[in-house]
Amino acid sequence: MMRFRTGVRSLILGAAAAFALALLAPAAHAATPAAAQTKDAARAITDGIICPCSCGEILTGCTCETGKAMRADIERKVASGKSKDQIEASLVTQYGEVILGAPKAKGFNLVVWVAPFVMTGVGILFATFILLRWVRRRAPETAAAGPAGAAGAPRTAEQDLASLRARAEAELRNLRE
């Protein structure tokens, strides 16, 4: 009987602890330091920027000195209160559109976003057209050949093999002459 009470008591204490953690979790999340929020905002920006040095990696994963300096600069700008659009605009002004991981979907850059889908559609239409032509060409040949043998019986594999063998022998004789 004593073990049962101890088990129930520990179960109740465990449930109370879990309940307390569930209540305190949002408060702990809200108390995240400003430095961590700044790092997260800076990472969101650096994930879409290409390092301008010769490594050509995304700025978040770049290990060169240029990448480290740019990450620090972006973190400093985020901490000073600049928005993502303002920081990206200043980087584009300084380095050009090449620094963006993906071009903005406006103006001539819209071609980069639309062209793959258009070309895929054109390719599918072209392949369909070619396949239909091949099937239409093949259909009259098979209909003209028709079933061979007596009373329209279908050809057997042996008959096909014999016909191919005779044709191959005839071509070999022509080559020897």
pLDDT of 2 above 70: no
pLDDT of the residue at 27: 52
| Alpha-carbon dihedral 75, 71, 89, 113, rounded to 10 degrees | -120
Classified as helix, coil or strand, 50 is strand
Torsion (CA) 149, 155, 158, 164 in degrees, nearest 10: 90
Which among 73, 39, 71, 75 is positioned nearest to 58, based on CA atoms? 71
Task: Report the mean per-residue pLDDT for the chain.
Answer: 77
Q: Once rounded to an integer, what is the mean pLDDT over residues 120-138?
A: 93
- Cα-Cα-Cα-Cα torsion 7, 13, 15, 20, nearest 10 degrees, comes to -170
pLDDT one-digit tens code per residue, 79-113: 888 888 888 888 888 888 778 877 677 777 788 88
> Over 70: is that where the pLDDT of 121 sits?
yes
Strongest mean pLDDT among 137-146, 154-163, 167-176: 167-176
pLDDT at 41 over 70: yes
Query: Who has greater pLDDT, 177 or 89?
Result: 89
Encode pLDDT of 48-82 as tens digits: 888 887 777 888 888 888 888 888 888 888 888 88
CATH architecture for the domain at 31-102:
Orthogonal Bundle (1.10)
Contact 99, 62 (CB under 8 A): no
Least confident of 22-26, 69-73, 130-134: 22-26
In the chain, where are the structural domains located?
31-102, 105-137
- 122 vs 67, more confident: 122
Asked whether the predicted pLDDT for residue 25 surpasses 90, the reply is no
pLDDT at position 69 is: 86
Q: What is the pLDDT of residue 9?
A: 61
Q: pTM for this structure?
A: 0.44
Asked if residues 159 and 150 have their Cβ atoms less than 8 Å apart, the reply is no
Closest CA to 173 of 163, 162, 165: 165
Q: Which of 72, 104, 74 is nearest to 86 (CA)?
A: 74
- Per-residue 3-state assignment (H helix, E strand, C coil) for 58-113: ECCCCCCHHHHHHHHHHHHHHHCCCCHHHHHHHHHHHHCHHHECCCCCCHHHHHHH
Question: How far is 68 from 101, CA to CA, in rounded Å?
Answer: 17
